[in-house]
Amino acid sequence: MNVNSLIEDKFIMEKPRQSLNRRERDRLLRQADILRAAEHVFALKGYHEATMQDIAKEAQYAIGTVYLYFKDKDALYLSLVEHKYRDLLAILKEETVKAKTAKEKIEIFIYETLSFFERNQNFFRIFVSERNKNQEIKVGKLRKLSVVIQHKEFVVELIKSAQEQQIIRSDFSAKQIADILISIFMSVVFNWFKEGSKGIKNLSSMSSFILDMFLNGAAVK
Amino acid sequence: MNVNSLIEDKFIMEKPRQSLNRRERDRLLRQADILRAAEHVFALKGYHEATMQDIAKEAQYAIGTVYLYFKDKDALYLSLVEHKYRDLLAILKEETVKAKTAKEKIEIFIYETLSFFERNQNFFRIFVSERNKNQEIKVGKLRKLSVVIQHKEFVVELIKSAQEQQIIRSDFSAKQIADILISIFMSVVFNWFKEGSKGIKNLSSMSSFILDMFLNGAAVK
DNA sequence: TCAATTAATGAATTTACGTTCATAATTAAA
DNA sequence: TTTAATTATGAACGTAAATTCATTAATTGA
């Protein structure tokens, strides 16, 4: 073992490492392809009625290929939900720190979430059904993802600090009120999507409607 | 054909009619058994993960028997949803006519719906998922039931008359606001069930919380 | 260019139901 | 009690979808 052989070795080692990295990149791109297709199909049909064949077709791969990238249907679905929630949470955290008051934070939360769903309409349907899954006693085989829980906790924290700042009523738990905020939000977004081209509301006016409804309710003042 | 033969005929006709009625009664009782079991299983597992075997077992019948009473899984599910919605709607209509103002009607609506779901906790889960089905683009094979639509329309009418009486804001459609009311309602009921024995709130206090939240929002006044 | 390695394919297999149906048990009629 | 009619049963069947795997295609390295 002379110096040369060591250099040689290192050189040899480097190459596979390089090509492995490229492979990994390609692999991720293809995974992303499949995730995009899955998002579309799951949103359209829901978890149970979406088939792996549907997803493979949408992604323009053979069905076997899908299984090279995801262990099974479950893993594919969970990976999808996880990625999207992660993106959403990252945005929310990044944007809300900029605000000073709790009320501003809630405003930003609503605006950024709306804007996220405008860009990810398909995911909105998955978000809704994922949220309902939390509400079932028996969640089938699909485990509750930690990002989903983190997202929920994030909203609860927003409300909690608003309660501390006397902006939100404290006669009910932050959890209860956070759920109500999300409920109102989903109801409005759903109607927005349903109306489609007709009721093109801009994000700001929708944000303020949701905030107004949440803070002040539906009564004539 | 003399008079006697006519009388004889009538007598002969009567008997089968009688026994048919008893049979029908028995049949309905057994159907009700199966519906009860189905309600339990569908609530626990959701439509897709509930199996006919599960339902048969819960009802303590063999699987073949279930098919003597319901054409298929779909028919069983739809029959269940239809029965329950019918009951709920009947109560709501009966009770709300008693009120004079639109606000009173909304109060009664909330109270009676809460009280219905207290008696039909299993059905609440089905109600929630049925409601989300309406929100899907592609509803699979399960058709949208007219009772479900009627229920929705009922709520919209409540809001519409409240808008006419200047109780509810009119800057958004009755439909939009009705959806928000239902959303808030479901969120609160869900939390109520989840808390279980801990947070035993009585119906009246919950009703007034929902109404207060809906009319006045979450802000500190 | 030519192995050799890696990735893609989709037919074949497995599995999990929904649904049917020949058989048995029960009830009613004679 | 015997026979006929009705109801219940669950093993067997069919189907659709998830998953696997032998084969083929593409890529890489020498």
**Nucleotide with C1' nearest the B64 CA:** D9
Nearest CA distance, A12 vs chain B (angstrom): 53
Q: Kindly state whether residues A169 and A218 are assigned to the same domain.
A: yes
Q: Does A220 touch chain B (CB under 8 A)?
A: yes
CATH code, domain with B193? 1.10.357.10
Q: Residue B168 has what DSSP assignment?
A: B
A 135-164 near B (Cβ less than 8 A): 135-138, 140
Query: Reduced to 3 states, what is the DSSP secondary structure of residue B53?
Result: helix
Q: Is the same domain home to A138 and A154? A: yes
Domain of residue A111: give its range. Answer: 73-221
Distance in Å from D18's C1' to A71's CA comes to: 11
Strand C lies under 7 A from the Cβ of residue B217:
no
Instruction: Examine the domain organization and report whether A189 and A85 are in the same domain.
Output: yes
- Interatomic CA distance for residues A136 and A139, integer angstroms: 6
Residues 158-187 of B with CB under 7 A from strand C: none
Q: What is the pLDDT of residues B70-123, one digit of tens each?
A: 999 999 999 999 999 999 999 999 999 999 999 999 999 999 999 999 999 999
**Side chain identity, residue A37:** A
**A178 neighbors A158 (Cβ within 8 angstroms):** yes
pLDDT recorded at residue B140 = 60
**Domain match, A44 and A101 both:** no
Tell me whether residues A49 and B179 touch, CB distance under 8 A. no
What whole-number distance in Å separates Cα of residue A220 and Cα of residue B39?
40
Q: Are B161 and B105 in contact (CB under 8 A)?
A: yes
Residue type, B11: F
Q: Using DSSP, state whether B150 is helix, strand or coil.
A: helix
Q: Which of A31, A47, A70 is the last residue of a domain?
A: A70
Please list the residues that pair with A16 across neighbouring strands: none
Two structure tokens written together for B120: 């039909």
Q: Kindly state whether residues B140 and B207 are assigned to the same domain.
A: yes
* Residues A40 and A130 both lie in one domain: no
∠ CA B77-B82-B85 to the nearest 5 degrees?
125
For residues A173 and B136, the model is more confident at: A173
Are B33 and B131 members of one domain?
no
Q: Residue A90, exposed/middle/buried by CB under 10 A (0-12, 13-18, 19+)?
A: exposed
Q: What pLDDT shows up at residue A139?
A: 54
**How far, in Å, CA of A191 to CA of B183, rounded?**
12
Distance B64 CA to C21 C1' (A): 10
Q: What positions of strand C are covered by protein, i.e. any atom < 7 Å from a CB?
A: 6-11, 17-22, 28-29
| Residue B10 confidence (pLDDT) | 36
* Confidence grade of residue B18 (pLDDT, cut at 50, 70, 90): very low
**Which residues in chain A have Cβ-Cβ distances shorter than 8 Å to B182?**
187
Burial of B98 (0-12, 13-18, 19+ CB in 10 A): exposed
Same domain, A77 and A60: no
pLDDT tens, chain A, 221 aa long? 333 332 233 333 333 434 347 788 889 999 999 999 999 999 999 999 999 999 999 999 999 999 999 999 999 999 999 999 999 999 999 999 999 999 999 999 999 999 999 999 999 999 998 887 766 555 566 677 889 999 999 999 999 999 999 999 999 999 999 999 999 999 999 999 888 777 778 888 999 999 999 999 999 98
Q: What is the mean pLDDT of residues B51-56?
A: 98
Please give the pLDDT value at position B7.
29
The answer to whether strand C lies under 7 Å from the CB of residue B24 is no
Coil, strand or helix at B193 = helix
Closest among A116, A44, A35, A119 to A77, alpha carbons compared: A35
B78 and B26 both lie in a single domain = no
State how many domains chain A has. Answer: 2
Verify whether the Cβ–Cβ distance B216 to A216 is below 8 Å. Answer: yes
Domain limit, last residue, from A41, A70, A99: A70
Question: Which residues 12-41 of B are in CB contact (within 8 Å) with A?
Answer: none
Domain boundary among B12, B41, B70: B70
CATH number, domain at A4?
1.10.10.60
Residue bearing tokens 């009922």: B154
Average pLDDT, chain B: 88
Specify whether A193 is located in the same domain as A96: yes
Q: Give yes or no: residues B104 and B63 share one domain.
A: no
- Both B216 and B107 in a single domain? yes
Provide the pLDDT confidence category of residue B144 given band limits of 50, 70 and 90.
confident
**pLDDT grade, residue B209 (50/70/90)?**
very high
What pLDDT, in 10s, does the model give residues A35-47?
999 999 999 999 9
Query: Are the Cβ atoms of A48 and B48 closer than 8 angstroms?
Result: yes
Q: How far is CA B22 from CA B18, B33, B214, in A?
A: 7, 17, 49
